[in-house]
Structure 1
Amino acid sequence: MKLYSFADLFAGCGGFSLGLAQSGLRGKFAIERDPMAFETFSANFIENQQSGFAFDWPAWLGKVAWDIELLLAQHKQDLVNLRGQVDVLAGGPPCQGFSFAGRRVEDDPRNLLFEKYVEVVRALQPQALILENVPGMRVAHASRNIVHLPIPGERVEKPKSFYDKLVDSLDVAGYKVEAMLVDSSRFGVPQRRSRLIAVGVRKDLCEWLDGGIGRIFVLLEDARIAQLKELGLPEAVSASSALSDLETTGREMVDCTDPESRSGFREVRYDKPTTTYQRLMQAGHRGKMDSMRLTRHRDDIRARFGRILAECRKGVRMDDESRKTYGLKKHRIYPMASDVPAPTVTTLPDDILHYCEPRILTVRESARLQSFPDWFAFKGRYTTGGERRTRECPRYTQVGNAVPPFLARAIGTAVRNLLEEVSLARSVFDEATGERPVASTA
């Protein structure tokens, strides 16, 4: 099988890149603008050669945090020169402007970053592209302008979602696109996380696909089933199956020595994995795990969390009445259930309560729920607040924004198999006719 390559735009800390590399694709380069997120990416894919997922980084591209607009301004011709060397372009523009979990803003500048994604697509012309985002990308934003009352008989144009606009732009760029809502928990990720997965294939290749572009999601289901079998995982991995070896009750506690952590924080001394999922996460890990720091809750906060765990229904978001009862102002709080996948991990560490301990999760526990292996190191501050929250990407934010590697692994396998089917179909045609067909440039 051919070794296919990929590039990752809006790479964050590297969840998408890790999963694609796990599927057998080879990384070419990645673009991420936030210094802390790129520091994490660099630690795992550039500096750490032991992981086996090093990139074939082009000499002209600095191994630093890049803004995609600056990349296009300074290196567009270099991207054009890479045509034929990047088979798959992955990218997940920031989703805050589309998200139902936060405040949806029609003119959020982050919503327009997909246009830069399309510009890179035009430059590289990869065989296939992948875009991951929240389900809200497919829902048209309501305009904040004055509502126009239609004249009787007048045809009113339905507002387009950003996904619709993306598809239109990629169609002009020469790609057919299909999308599907996918739940990460079906792929071995111990977390209910619904995401919109869009896959595009260059139009000149689509004619070789049996079933057209929709073939990709047949292959994705095949990849999902094969992945669970290969990894020895059930249809759903529970939160306790993912995290029980990181519980603090009855365990030895030690000082946190992370250079990014102030003194006075504690963490559990790790013993050993006890479930199949935990053994998968521990595979390849040596030494001490990072990002194990426990939050220092006040006694009254721990008491409140304890009451919530004892009295409230687990596995569902606390309703308005329950939050009022416990004096909580936060809109989104989930007391996690132990026997089912966790709720969606977000960028806010206090959105989820541990299933049996009166505390929020550590960065490492959140990473476990995203299917990051334990050898994967996180860099930068643990969290931030105030105005910096929209401009910085500390560890909790990096994890919450990431594509779960196990989901990306299955997507990468499906896309690789799709490209193999195209290659095989074209080879059979060549042998049968004795000539090479002229690829359409439409």
Structure 2
Amino acid sequence: MATINFYLDKSDKKGFSPIHLRINCNSEQVKLSTGEKVKQEDFDKETQSVKENSERATEINYYLAYLRDRADDLLNNSYKKSYTNKELKSKLTGFVKAYKENHNVNIVREQVSLYGKPFTFVDLFAGAGGFSEGFLQAEHNNKFFDFLLANDINDNSELTHVVRYNHQLGLDADFLCQDITEPDFLDNLLSKINGKKVDVVCGGPPCQSFSLAGKRKKFDKKDDLFSHYLEVIKVLQPKYFVMENVKGILTKEKGKIKELIIKEINSIVDINEIPRLSSFVRSLKKTNLDNSFLIDCLVKRIEIEQYTDSKAEEVKELYIKTIDSKFKKLTPNIADYKTSKTDERISTIRHGFNLLVRNKEWEKLKRDIIREKDFCNIDNDYFIDSFTQFLTEIDSNEIINKIEIAFSKLNIAKDYKKACDDIISALKIYVLSIDDCLSLIRDYCNENQNNELDVIISDIRLYKIEAPFVANSSNYGVPQNRERVLFIGCRKDQKFISEIPATVKEEEKVSVFEALYDLDFIGNNQEAHQYQLVDISKQYNGTANKMKELLKKRSIDGKPIKTKGKTFAEWSRSGRLNGRFEKSTKPFYVRNEEALNNGEKVYDILHNHKTSNQGKDVIKRLDIILKEGDYKKAKEKLNECGLSSNKRNYNVLKPESQSPTVMTIPDDYIHYNSPRALTVREMARLQSFDDSFVFQGKRSTGGNNRKSELPQYTLVGNAVPPLMARAVAIEILKKIR
């Protein structure tokens, strides 16, 4: 039986004594320095801990308890039943070394360009940081990316970011933990960027409501996030932007959502060209005297694009008040005094203007209602229709529609019909995109003017984009068939990007076995803190040679190479980040922000490799499905054994091929060699995250907590695969000027 304790060595000149770990087992003894020192009077021998009133007591005690746990784990829970003193000391030294390397390191070191030319990027809807990770891995002809800022709404995204990029890699990249739909989001973003130029913006707006598999909801706040993303693009005007989404967005609303996104991208204008366009539109009044008012409205609408936030709202308000003023002058000609004060139709028009003038306030109210509706899970119930109807009623388009109906029911004399129609048309111009405005301007152009307009349109559109394209992550060295749609906007002064070339051919793709084989030493309800040797010959007996043939030496991006290559697993262990991060410290885990501030860090050799505690019946069910190779094929046998499940699907991983799309629920997948779900680390491998990338916070959660928490499994499942992001980043580096 082994005993584990701590003792103090002799004091140094300053009165501090080193703390040593001591293990006694079968008359043998192992001693190890912990790397920490305390004064004799601050150490409690009985409790084997530093006294609470001592400096850094919380941090040191957490570290000592962690070392004791790892020693106990090696002695009592390891697959290996015996160690020599040297082996035991070597393994424990790994944990101590990681702690020492991180101790006394500045939390944030200034990011320094060591060589070549840096380009900056910002990662919106960052989640775990898949885009960030891929962009930092990218390098081409001495060009690389500097990380300025990431954004997400969840605390655990921020914690994972801070630990990975600030503590571990020592970057000064900032994090904005705020909802992009908040009114002051842009102001806060600009404040954090602090005047730095942003070359690239990347991000994947959450899109559950776009998904082919999920329910489609009306007024789901996630549906409109792309427009807020584009608002950021309008303000930052980066050289390139990348927007990632699910494949379902291409067919949503019969393709109308995709068309809307393209139209919105085409509506991002070069504000330096707006005076030129305004001048051209004004000139059209000479040949369109009867439509002078509408042409003036088009000019005003176009000029709104010059402004952001409060100034834009001020100009919009003035636009509506100008039309309202025209209506007030017109009112005596279409209704007598008594009617104008009491008539429902006139009141609808007048009050409609009031609603439109207060558009900013109504939009804020709409955001708050949608947020609360989503939080309360309002959907498929007696409440949803009422919520949907109200949110529809306060939309600007619906308000304008009611004003139009009110006008149509008035008995307006022929002499004033054109003026009334102009008011309605002017309101419709107010809600048009710039792209739609440009189409409308053509109605007032002759052939020569159309040709001039074509030139102006070409110059005023800030971004070039033809169509989104579908990218499969397995084409970029990721062991997963994950199809995603990429919208890549290229600023007009940059080279055009229409696709991201594959880095591997179909027959070269990375297999599930290549990604996971070296982690296959863990059973049900177990956690591993360090790597263990996996003997393929013993595990697979007669098929060992076949399994070994799946292992290939590859370049970082998955391309098979014969010299200087590594297996996918070796790349995952050694890391894919370039030479700028050679001084990065050892990875660590913390359970929350408070633990980080208290120094309660876990410096394991291997992180996030813990299996779920699944019951006997679940294991039997998984075993049957695994042996049948398919859930549908196994259903009959499961029924016979009384092990049927209401679960919609189980995905049995095939070692020789790629995994299906990694989602956020581990129970959806069955390991190819064991009747169990995957660990966070295994799912991270399938996403192509390095092992040094530690997912922080809770491992999993359920129920309503999923609305407010983002556990490790969700962080992994929602992420952009870093190797796919790397391929995107390299293509940008090839083209960027």
TM-score bracket, shorter-length normalisation: 0.7 to 0.9
| Correspondence 1:265-284 to 2 at 5 A | 266-267=527-528, 269-271=530-532, 275=551, 276-284=567-575
* Structure 1 residue 79 displacement after superposition: 7.6
Provide the residue aligned with 1:30 in structure 2: 150
TM-score (norm 2): 0.46
C-alpha change, 1:79 and 1:114, in structure 2 (3 Å) is farther
Q: State which of 650, 662, 669 in structure 2 corresponds to 1:352.
A: 669
- State the secondary structure of the residue aligned to 1:303: helix
Provide the residue aligned with 2:693 in structure 1: 376
C-alpha change, 1:387 and 1:122, in structure 2 (3 Å) is same
C-alpha change, 1:248 and 1:175, in structure 2 (3 Å) is same
* Structure 1 residue 321 displacement after superposition: 5.5
- State the secondary structure of the residue aligned to 1:168: helix
Matched, 1:49 2:179: no
Superposed CA offset, 1:82-134 (max 9, x none): 47x11100010002111123223343211111111011001100011001111
* Structure 1 residue 179 displacement after superposition: 1.6
Q: State which of 439, 459, 464 in structure 2 corresponds to 1:176.
A: 464
Matched residue type, 1:12 = G
Structure-1 separation of matches of 2:120 and 2:498 = 18
Provide the residue aligned with 2:613 in structure 1: 296
Superposed CA offset, 1:205-225 (max 9, x none): 25xx4xxx3x441xx21xx43
Structure-1 separation of matches of 2:169 and 2:699 = 25
Query: Where does structure 1 differ by over 3 angstroms across 4 or more consecutive aligned residues?
Result: 76-83, 264-269, 272-275, 284-287, 317-326
C-alpha change, 1:331 and 1:238, in structure 2 (3 Å) is same
Report if the CA contact (8 A) 1:98-1:105 is conserved: no
Report if the CA contact (8 A) 1:80-1:123 is conserved: no
Matched residue type, 2:484 = R
Matched residue type, 1:352 = Y
Report if the CA contact (8 A) 2:122-2:200 is conserved: yes
Provide the residue aligned with 1:247 in structure 2: 520
Structure-2 separation of matches of 1:133 and 1:319 = 32
- State the secondary structure of the residue aligned to 1:13: coil
Provide the residue aligned with 1:186 in structure 2: 475
- State the secondary structure of the residue aligned to 1:161: helix
Structure-1 separation of matches of 2:725 and 2:628 = 37
* Structure 1 residue 390 displacement after superposition: 3.1
Superposed CA offset, 1:213-256 (max 9, x none): 3x441xx21xx43xx59xxx97211111110111136x8x9xxx
Provide the residue aligned with 2:205 in structure 1: 93
Matched, 1:416 2:733: yes
Provide the residue aligned with 2:493 in structure 1: 205
| Correspondence 1:25-424 to 2 at 5 A | 25-49=145-169, 54-57=171-174, 63=175, 65-70=177-182, 72=185, 74-75=187-188, 78=191, 82=195, 85-141=197-253, 160-173=255-268, 174-177=462-465, 178-202=467-491, 204-205=492-493, 209=495, 213=496, 215-217=497-499, 220-221=500-501, 224-225=502-503, 235-248=508-521, 266-267=527-528, 269-271=530-532, 275=551, 276-284=567-575, 287-313=604-630, 318=632, 325=639, 326-419=643-736, 423=737
Superposed CA offset, 1:165-203 (max 9, x none): 22111111132223211110111101111110110012x
Report if the CA contact (8 A) 2:628-2:634 is conserved: no
Matched residue type, 1:120 = V
Structure-2 separation of matches of 1:234 and 1:269 = 33
Report if the CA contact (8 A) 2:122-2:148 is conserved: yes
Matched residue type, 1:280 = W
TM-score (norm 1): 0.75
Q: Which has the higher contact order (CA 8 A, sep 6+)?
A: 1
Report if the CA contact (8 A) 1:354-1:361 is conserved: yes
Structure-2 separation of matches of 1:98 and 1:39 = 28
Structure-2 separation of matches of 1:77 and 1:322 = 59
Structure-1 separation of matches of 2:645 and 2:532 = 35
Report if the CA contact (8 A) 1:80-1:124 is conserved: no
Report if the CA contact (8 A) 2:470-2:486 is conserved: yes
- Which of 1 and 2 has greater Rg? 2
Structure-2 separation of matches of 1:17 and 1:118 = 19
Percent sequence identity over aligned pairs: 33
Report if the CA contact (8 A) 1:347-1:400 is conserved: yes
- State the secondary structure of the residue aligned to 1:69: coil
Structure-2 separation of matches of 1:350 and 1:400 = 12
Report if the CA contact (8 A) 2:178-2:185 is conserved: no
- State the secondary structure of the residue aligned to 2:248: helix
Superposed CA offset, 1:114-160 (max 9, x none): 1110110011000110011110111123xxxxxxxxxxxxxxxxx55
Between Structure 1 and Structure 2, how many residues are aligned?
Answer: 363
CA RMSD of aligned residues (A): 2.7
Q: Which runs of 5+ in 1 are unaligned?
A: 58-62, 142-158, 254-263, 424-442
Structure-2 separation of matches of 1:114 and 1:323 = 46
Structure-1 separation of matches of 2:632 and 2:624 = 13
Report if the CA contact (8 A) 2:624-2:638 is conserved: no
Report if the CA contact (8 A) 2:155-2:177 is conserved: yes
Superposed CA offset, 1:346-377 (max 9, x none): 01111111111000000000000000000001
Matched residue type, 1:238 = S
C-alpha change, 1:323 and 1:3, in structure 2 (3 Å) is farther
Structure-1 separation of matches of 2:249 and 2:647 = 24
Provide the residue aligned with 1:152 in structure 2: none
Report if the CA contact (8 A) 2:151-2:178 is conserved: yes
Matched residue type, 1:270 = Y
C-alpha change, 1:379 and 1:116, in structure 2 (3 Å) is same
- State the secondary structure of the residue aligned to 1:205: coil
Farther off after superposition, 168-177 or 298-307: 168-177
Farther off after superposition, 294-303 or 95-104: 95-104
Superposed CA offset, 1:277-326 (max 9, x none): 0000001477512111111111111111111111233xxx6479569745
C-alpha change, 1:81 and 1:297, in structure 2 (3 Å) is closer
- State the secondary structure of the residue aligned to 1:103: coil
Matched residue type, 1:86 = V
Structure showing the higher helix proportion among its residues: 2
